[in-house]
Amino acid sequence: MPRIVVVGSVNLDLTAEVDRLPEPGETLAAGALRRVPGGKGANQALAARRLGADVTMVAAVGKDTAADEALAMLRAEGVDLTAVRVDPELPTGHALITVDAEGETTIIVAAGANARPAVEPADLAGADAVLTVLEVPDETVAVVAEHAPGFRVLNAAPSRPVDPGVLRRLDLVVVNRAEFAALDGLDAAGAVAVTYGGEGAVLRRGGVEVARAEPPPTTVVDGTGAGDSFTAALTVALLAGRSDADALRYACAAGALTVSRRGAQPSLPTAAELEGML
Ligand code: RIB
């Protein structure tokens, strides 16, 4: 069983379901409001866990009841939370999400305690892979890039510039179409996976496309967490020694299953579901 450490964000997602996304200045009535465990880091941790990895989460939450809600699924499914610290001053991170009838989303994140997770190089010891995201500060991402043993993965979302020295140390960077266009210097990383929603994904090494895959057909209900599911699945598959093409196909299928169901963490597939789909 691969050992994966995720250094990232934990959020409580407040998700409103609407027929269409609001225009600027417009007020809309929601069909439903849900409180769902989320956060890009926590979603990737649970996704990797459901795909058979032994997972430790390194993160920070507030001293509040939202933390219990946000961590509930990770705890129930055996993600090691001993490196999740409680910040006495900041609240647990929250995401305000709208999902329209086509599954299109808008997401606004209030970082709270995710703004200062305390990661120590010792937290990373013994990992076969370390995943991180841009919902934690640059300094945290830099600690991963410098000290992580094994395979170093960054899901560069939400988009912001990343230090070239950090990119050079990474084995895999995962971005969507918009992040790929916005981020300079990505090809310095060992590999770059670019996701294109329903059109699939491309894997590049040294600036050259080495694999391309399409997702199985699916009905999109809620796009939340698709990138997280894709990132975790690609990491698990590459760690397992799958070829670039097979690993990309596996990751696309994970993303497709995730968008076919509602919510971030409730929608993440298991290994059995994925193998069944493929
Ligand atoms: O990638 C989806 C996640 O982005 C949501 O769960 C939300 O918390 C935001 O971090």
With a cut of 80, say whether residue 276 has pLDDT above it.
yes
227 ligand 1 Cβ < 6 A: yes
Mean pLDDT over 176-198 rounds to 95
pLDDT bracket for residue 118 (50, 70, 90): confident
Helices (H), 124-186: 138-147, 164-169, 177-182
Atom of ligand 1 at shortest range from CA of 95: 8
Q: Which residue has the tokens 């032994």?
A: 54
Indicate if ligand 1 lies below 6 Å from the C-beta of 264: yes
Spell out a b/e string for 220-257, using b for 16 or more CB atoms within 10 Å of the CB, else e. ebbbbbbbbbbbbbbbbbbbeebebebbbbbbbbbbbb
Is the CB of residue 123 below 6 angstroms from any atom belonging to ligand 1? no
Residues with catalytic roles: 228
Cα(224) to ligand 1 centroid in Å equals: 7
Nearest CA to ligand 1 atom 10: 39
For range 66-93, the mean pLDDT: 98
* Ligand 1 atom index nearest CA of 135: 10
Q: Are 183 and 163 in contact (CB under 8 A)?
A: no
CA distance 164 to 221: 37
Structure tokens at 198: 């329903």
How many domains would you assign to the chain? 1
Tell me, what CATH number does 244's domain have? 3.40.1190.20
The pLDDT of residue 136 is 97
Mean pLDDT for all residues in the chain = 96
Ligand 1, atom 8, lies closest to the CA of 39
Give me the pLDDT at residue 10, please. Answer: 98
> Residue 6 has what pLDDT?
98
Identify the three-state secondary structure at position 136. coil
pLDDT at 268: 98
Does 108 fall in a domain? yes
Q: Is the CB of 109 under 6 A from ligand 1?
A: yes
Q: What is the pLDDT of residue 265?
A: 98
What is the pLDDT averaged over residues 87-111? Answer: 96
Please give the structure tokens belonging to residue 95: 């995401």
Sign of the torsion formed by the C-alpha atoms of 255, 256, 262 and 266: negative
pLDDT, average across residues 52-64: 98
Residue from 10, 11, 96, 155 whose mutation best tests the ligand 1 pocket (most atoms within 8 A of CB)? 11
pTM (predicted TM-score)? 0.97
Asked if pLDDT for residue 117 goes beyond 80, the answer is no
Residue 255 located in a structural domain: yes
In a domain, 84, yes or no: yes
Whether residue 276 lies inside any domain: the answer is: no
The residue segments making up the domain with residue 186 are 3-23+31-269
Q: Is residue 198 part of a domain?
A: yes
Mean pLDDT confidence for 187-201 = 96
Give the CA radius of gyration of the chain.
17
Give the pLDDT confidence of 206-222 residue by residue, as tens digits: 999 999 999 999 999 99
| Best mutation site among 228, 261, 268 for ligand 1 pocket (most ligand atoms within 8 Å of CB) | 228
CB of 224 sitting under 6 A from ligand 1: yes
By most ligand atoms within 8 Å of CB, the mutation choice from 6, 224, 229 for ligand 1 is 224
Angle at which helices 40-50 and 65-76 cross, to 10°: 20
| pLDDT number for residue 20 | 96
Write down the pLDDT at residue 166: 97
> Quick one: average pLDDT of 119-140?
96
Please name the residues in contact with 181: beta carbons below 8 A apart, sequence gap of 6 or more: none
pLDDT at position 116 is 92
Closest CA to 235 of 132, 145, 140: 132
Q: Is the CB of 228 under 6 A from ligand 1?
A: yes
Q: How far is CA 246 from CA 184, 211, 235, in A?
A: 28, 9, 12
- pLDDT, mean of residues 27-50: 96
> Within a domain: residue 223?
yes
Q: State if residue 223 touches ligand 1 by the CB under 6 angstroms criterion.
A: no
Q: Is 11 in the pocket of ligand 1 (CB under 6 A)?
A: yes
Q: What is the pairing mode between strands 151-155 and 11-17?
A: unpaired
pLDDT band at 230 (very low <50, low <70, confident <90, very high): very high
Distances in Å between the alpha carbon of 153 and those of 12, 129, 173, 236, 265? 24, 7, 6, 11, 20
Assess if residue 152 is contained within a domain. Answer: yes
Residue 189 lies in a domain: yes
